[in-house]
Structure 1
Amino acid sequence: MGSRFTAVFEGPPGLAVEPLRAALQQAVDRVDRQMSSWNPDSDLMRLNAAPLNDWVSLPEELVWVLASALRISRESGGAFEIAVGALVGAWGFGPGPAQAFKPGAPASACMALELDPEGCRARKHQPLTLDLNGIAKGFGVDELARCLAAFDLPCHLVGIDGEMRAGLARTDGREWAVALEAPLRGRREARGLLELAEVSVATSGDYRHWLDGPGGTYAHTMDPRRGAPLDNGLASVTVLATSCMYADAWATALMVLGVESGCRVARQQGLQAIFLQREGAALREVTVGL
């Protein structure tokens, strides 16, 4: 998915690392083969290319992520939307170049995509280009954590890009330190520090992936309600949750909702969140549940 993964862990003396390294690589490769929009042969792209109303057999993990995405879309009032693939591509944030024609607001995947979880299949009732970049990396992090648990290594910190999941604290009692990044374009700098154990963290922001265009600077997060890149003044939203998949998706949803609506929905969902709002050259921090 165009990112790198990391795994830091405590293990017994003499632990054979290579079998673990291979298992971790297989875990992320499996997610990439199923859910990447950058891999033209992925199961997601196969679903995108399928004719309307034809059932498409899919891996169980992909069906689970699709179902979770639809649930979060409903719970967020449509702020989280996976049917933004055409928008992402048109604005130049996908595998190809930007396009002169920009499509409008997409059809809701909740209305146009039908899932059959028991049969592990899905079908589209309207033209859709699905994009799981707002949830698949978080799921991949959860898979890394499950892999380490299978090797009986509960004290760990795993991540894909900025999405992280901490297992049990270190054996000396210290929690895992994760930097909260300052929303700066062109350089990386820590704004604060989170100490984590048995929790996941994910951040959505306007400062890591952006394009300069004739109308200004465009961040990669799409506002599905406007059919255009997000433009609400939010610099970033960081979410803490048990599952990294949920933290990843909810960070995107709250980013789209903005501070006022995002804080209200975060409280309704019992989420812990940190909002950073741009106010001129300054940043205003708003927290929920922390």
Structure 2
Amino acid sequence: MQKLTTFFLLALLFGCTKKLEQVKLFGSTMGSSYKVKYFAGSSAPSKIIISQEIEAKLKKVNDSMSTYLSYSEISKINHIQGDEWINVTPELHQVLLEAKKISVKSDGYFDITVGPLVNLWGFGPSGVRKVPSIEEIEKQMAKVGHHLLVVDPTKPRIRKLRDGVELDLSSIAKGFGVDQLALVLENHKITSYLVEIGGEIKVAGTKPNGKKWSIGVESPDFFTRQIKKVFYLSDKAIATSGDYRNFFKGGGKTYSHTFDFKTGRPVTHNLASVTVVDATSCMIADGYATTLMALGNKAFEFAEKNNLAAFFIYRGKDKFIEKSTTKFKIMVQGASR
């Protein structure tokens, strides 16, 4: 009788076990691409429904934060002159509050008012990639500085304190987009997923076999694409910033899209790539990855002081040099697969 009871319980257990289906979605967004991979049971909505919700969410983020869309919320804000309060959507307000927080903490090395410089150097929606004159840089620098943007902490509104101030959220918007797509899945009780937009990633849970998600960090090589390092993550967000994908050459020098906001010029240091891991938010990881790239040789000290989980790749004389913060070693390198 005991054997029959045991057999019945096992049969009931395996009969009730839900088979998880792997679903993959991908497409274009934010001048890059997105990828969503998740495991879901039979109670989850269809792939078509999830795909429609994801596309709708991406459209909402783009319509708010893309400088490449003339009708976007951020583009309209950039054209407004004067210092009157400007009402913004709750989503944009959330991003601006976080951006302001990082700007203050980093003493302006992270700065979303960098729009005039981005366009001047040709990294934005307008302009040609070229080295501008000192006079041109100084003229645009007068419109740059996080102190020129006031973000109301209690109401979704902002003020620009000088005409010509232009916001550029390319250093944080992809991370926010990743968080938004993750919410789509979580709202449907999907707990095992990987979401990626342009290399910024958020993962949750583990695969059905119990293994964590494997995340590759590229080697910061200008001409080839290969994985330099693989990390195994669960319930984390990860973002990487580097000098090796978005750049141009001029006068025998290489100019990256990451700016030293103190000089108005692209950064010039031997930090080639930095990856930041955050326990909850890809937006935060994205913002700090850019911050650390801008800080360059001061980045590691800043990351340790602010308890950031960061992985650095520096350009040595004839090889790359890797370095990890204490928190990164504990959170990522010290974790099991």
Provide the TM-score with structure 2 as the length reference: 0.82
1:270 CA displacement: 1.4
Aligned-partner Cα distance in 2 for 1:103–1:29:
34
Q: Paired residue for 1:182?
A: 219
SS of 2:111's partner is coil
Aligned-partner Cα distance in 2 for 1:106–1:182:
36
Q: Paired residue for 1:236?
A: 273
Identity %: 34
Matches within 5 A, 1:33-44: 33-44=63-74
Q: Paired residue for 1:86?
A: 116
Q: Please list every run of 5 or more consecutive structure 2 residues that lacks an aligned counterpart in the other structure.
A: 1-29, 330-337
Q: Paired residue for 2:34?
A: 5
Instruction: Give the stretch that moved more between structures: 137-146 or 104-113.
Output: 104-113
Q: Paired residue for 2:18?
A: none
2:283 is the alignment partner of 1:249: no
2:263 is the alignment partner of 1:226: yes
1:241 CA displacement: 0.6
SS of 1:4's partner is strand
2:35 partner letter? T
Matches within 5 A, 1:1-290: 1-13=30-42, 15=44, 16-98=46-128, 100-101=132-133, 102-104=136-138, 105=141, 107=143, 109-127=145-163, 128-242=165-279, 243-259=281-297, 261-288=298-325, 289=327, 290=329
Aligned-partner Cα distance in 2 for 1:275–1:107:
31
1:58 CA displacement: 1.1
Matched residue count: 289
Instruction: Give the stretch that moved more between structures: 210-219 or 197-206.
Output: 210-219
Contact 1:59 1:120 in 2 (8 A): yes
1:14 CA displacement: 7.5
Superposed CA RMSD: 1.6
Aligned-partner Cα distance in 1 for 2:40–2:82:
50
Aligned-partner Cα distance in 1 for 2:308–2:150:
28
1:117 CA displacement: 4.5
Provide the TM-score with structure 1 as the length reference: 0.95
1:55 partner letter? W
1:84-139 deviation digits (Å, cap 9, x = unpaired):
11111111111123264542345554311122344322121113111110001000
Q: Please list every run of 5 or more consecutive structure 1 residues that lacks an aligned counterpart in the other structure.
A: none
Cα distance change on mapping 1:122 and 1:61 into 2, 3 Å = same
1:114 partner letter? V
Contact 1:70 1:109 in 2 (8 A): no
1:42-76 deviation digits (Å, cap 9, x = unpaired):
11111111112122221111011111101001111
Contact 2:237 2:285 in 1 (8 A): yes
Aligned-partner Cα distance in 2 for 1:201–1:238:
7
Larger Rg: 2
Aligned-partner Cα distance in 1 for 2:244–2:96:
27
Contact 1:38 1:95 in 2 (8 A): yes
2:207 partner letter? R
Instruction: Give the stretch that moved more between structures: 8-17 or 169-178.
Output: 8-17
Cα distance change on mapping 1:57 and 1:51 into 2, 3 Å = same
